[in-house]
Structure 1
Amino acid sequence: MWSDIIHEFADSPSQGRVVRFLLENGFGVNEEGRICSNGIEIPATSVAKAIGSDRRVVDSTARRILDRPSLREIFLNMRVTPDLSRVAESLGFSVIIVMPKDANERGIIGAAIRVIADHSLAIRQIFVTDPQLSEDPKLVIIVEDPLPAGVVNEIRALPQVRQVII
C-alpha cells in the first residue's frame, strides 16, 4: 500500500519526498490542506525546512493528496502514536531493538514476542518501521525492567535476526 502512495508521486520527486516524510512521521492533512499531527497544524515552512524543500511544494503536495479520494481518506485519518523508546529508561523500561535479516520475511514479530512471553515480561509498547518507508527497518519492543540476560541471546539466536540492540 505504501509503495502505491509513493508511486502516485513518482512524477514529482520533490512531492514524493514530502509524502515520504508525512508517512514516516505519521502526519496527516486536514480538510483545509494543511499538514497536521493529531489535528494540530504544522506550518508548511517547518515541514519544508525539515526535508530541505520549499513551502510551496509542501502546500501543493497537500492539495494533491486531497484531490485523490484514496489518498484523501488515508491522510485525513492519519494519527501519531508516541514513541516511548527515547524515554524508556526514565520510565523504568528496557528497549530491545531487533534488526531483521530481511524485513519482508514473515514471522519476525511473532518469534520475538514468543521469546518475551516465555520470560513472562510485560510489553509496554511494540512497533516496527515499515520496510517500504525506512532504509533500515527494525522492530522495537519496550518491556518492563528488569530484563533477564537470556532474553537478548534468545532473540539474537532467531534465524530472522541480524542484530539485537539494547
Structure 2
Amino acid sequence: MWAKIMQEFADSPAQARVVRFLLENGFGVSAEGRITCNGIEIPATHIAREIGIDRRVVDATARRILTMGPAAEIFSLMRATPDLSRVAGFLKLTVITILPRDAHEKGIVGAVVGVLAAHDLAIRQIFVNDPYLSESPKLVVVLDEPLPLGVIEKLRALPHVQQLII
C-alpha cells in the first residue's frame, strides 16, 4: 500500500517528500485537510520548515490525500506513539538497536524476540522502521533490565543481523 501511495505522488517530488514525512512520523490528515498528530493540528508552516519546502506544498498535499479514497482513510487513522528509546537513560531501560542485513526479509523480529524470550527478558517496547518508508530501517527493542551474559553474542549470531548497537 505504501508503494501505491508513493506512486500516486510520483509526479510531484515535493509532495512525495511531504507524504514520506507524514508516514515516517505517524502524522495524519483531518477531514478538513489539516496535518494532525494524534488529532492535534500541526501548522503547515512547521512541516514545511522541517522538510525545507513551501507551506503551500504541504497544504496542497493534504488536500490531494483527501481525494485518494483508501489513502485518505489511512491518513485519517494514523497515530504517533512515544519512542521510549529516546528517554531510556532517564528510565534506566536497556535499548538494543539492530540493523538488519535485509529489512525485507521475514523473521527478523521473531528471531530477536525468540532470543530475548529464551532468557526471560521483559520487552517494554519494540519499534520497527518500515523498510518501504525508511532509508535505513532498524529494529529497536527496549527492555526493563540489563542484558545478561551471552545474549549479545546470540543476537549478533542471528543471520538477519548486520549490526547490533547497545
> How would you bin the TM-score normalised by the shorter chain?
over 0.9
Which residue is 1:18 aligned to? Answer: 18
Which residue is 2:28 aligned to? Answer: 28
Which residue is 2:132 aligned to? Answer: 132
Which residue is 1:116 aligned to? Answer: 116
State the alpha-carbon separation in 2 of the partners of residues 27 and 88 from structure 1: 24
Which residue is 1:2 aligned to? Answer: 2
Q: Cα offset for 1:47?
A: 0.2
Q: Cα offset for 1:31?
A: 1.1
Q: Secondary structure at the match of 2:4?
A: helix
Q: Secondary structure at the match of 1:81?
A: coil
The gaps in structure 2 that reach 5 residues or longer are none
Aligned pairs, how many? 166
Once the two structures are superposed, residues 31-87 of structure 1 have per-residue CA deviations (whole angstroms, 9 ceiling, x without a partner) of 111100000000000000010000000000000000111111000111111110010
Q: Secondary structure at the match of 2:141?
A: strand
State the alpha-carbon separation in 1 of the partners of residues 68 and 164 from structure 2: 41
Instruction: Please list, as runs of the form range in 1=range in 2, the aligned pairs for 1:46-61 lying within 5 A after superposition.
Output: 46-61=46-61
Q: Residue 126 of structure 2 aligns to which amino acid in structure 1?
A: I
Is 1:38 the counterpart of 2:34 in the alignment?
Answer: no
Instruction: Please list, as runs of the form range in 1=range in 2, the aligned pairs for 1:132-151 lying within 5 A after superposition.
Output: 132-151=132-151
Q: Residue 8 of structure 1 aligns to which amino acid in structure 2?
A: E
Decide which moves more: 1-10 or 145-154: 145-154
State the alpha-carbon separation in 2 of the partners of residues 134 and 69 from structure 1: 24
State the alpha-carbon separation in 2 of the partners of residues 22 and 39 from structure 1: 14
State the alpha-carbon separation in 2 of the partners of residues 148 and 163 from structure 1: 19
Q: Cα offset for 1:146?
A: 2.1
Q: Secondary structure at the match of 1:145?
A: coil
State the alpha-carbon separation in 2 of the partners of residues 149 and 63 from structure 1: 53
State the alpha-carbon separation in 2 of the partners of residues 94 and 154 from structure 1: 17
State the alpha-carbon separation in 2 of the partners of residues 149 and 136 from structure 1: 29
The gaps in structure 1 that reach 5 residues or longer are none
Identity of aligned residues (%): 64
State the alpha-carbon separation in 1 of the partners of residues 35 and 90 from structure 2: 31
